Amino acid sequence: MTAEAIRVIGSDTTGNTVLEVEIYGSTHVLDWPRGKKLLDVLLDAGIDAPYVCRESACATCMCSVQSGRTRMLMNESLIDSEVAEGFTLACQTLPESDRVQIFFDA
C-alpha cells in the first residue's frame, strides 16, 4: 500500500480543526470537530482509511503524530515506547490543538 499523509492546516471559525488529507494521490480538506475521532472523520468523508476493530484492540489504524497535540481516549494495543514516539490510534484520537500533522504508513 502507499503511504498516506494527513496534515491539519488550521482551525475554522467553529473551533474545528481543519484537516488536509492526502491519500492515494488525492487531497481532501475536512473539518475535524474537537469531539470526533479521527477515523470517524475520515470514514464519514468517504476516505478509505485503514481500520478493523474501532476499539483500540488491533492497531490497524495506527498512525504517527508528527506535530501538534492529540489525545487517545483508549489504548489497548500500543506499547509505551510507541506512544512516546508519537504513535496513536485513529479510532481513538481527538484533536487538542489547532494544528496537527499525522501520517499513516499503511
Domain spans, the chain: 3-102
Q: How far apart are CA 11 and CA 97, in angstroms?
A: 9
pTM: 0.84
Hey, which bits of 1-55 come out as E strands? Answer: 3-11, 17-23, 26-32
**Helical H segments across 6-100, by residue range:** 38-44, 80-84
Among 60, 106, 55, 64, which residue's Cα sits nearest to residue 85?
64
Per-residue pLDDT reduced to its tens digit, 26-71: 677 788 899 999 999 999 999 889 999 999 999 999 998 878 889 9
The CATH number given to 3-102 is 3.10.20.30
